[in-house]
Amino acid sequence: MADIKEGWGFPGTSKKAHYFVDSMSLCRKWGFYYGSLEQGNDDSPDNCAACIRELAKRKVKQRRQNAKEVLDES
């Protein structure tokens, strides 16, 4: 089984799920989280609003990088 390094998780006393990448939440309110992570479910009302915004920015940046790589290969 592959070790999941990013996804949504519920740290300790948090009321909201936060999106973690390498144990740090995108909103930077939580760090060193090594609990279970869930992939997908990005539109849940239980998710941290700041993490949702940062995840959207991250996805746009990744798409731009992928598009640039495809153009560079041509």
Report pLDDT digits (tens) over 3-60.
778 999 999 999 999 999 999 999 999 999 999 999 999 999 999 999 999 999 999 9
On whether the CB atoms of residues 54 and 19 are closer than 8 A, the answer is: yes
> Phi and psi dihedrals of 17, rounded to 5?
-80, 145
Distance CA 61, CA 34 (A): 25
- Confidence class for position 2, pLDDT limits 50, 70, 90: low
Q: What is the pLDDT of residue 62?
A: 92
Beta strands in the chain (DSSP E): 6-9, 18-21, 24-25
Token readout for 67 is: 């598009």
| Cα-based torsion angle of the residue sequence 58, 51, 10, 25 in order, rounded to the nearest 10 degrees | 60
pLDDT at residue number 19: 97
pTM reported for the whole predicted model: 0.86
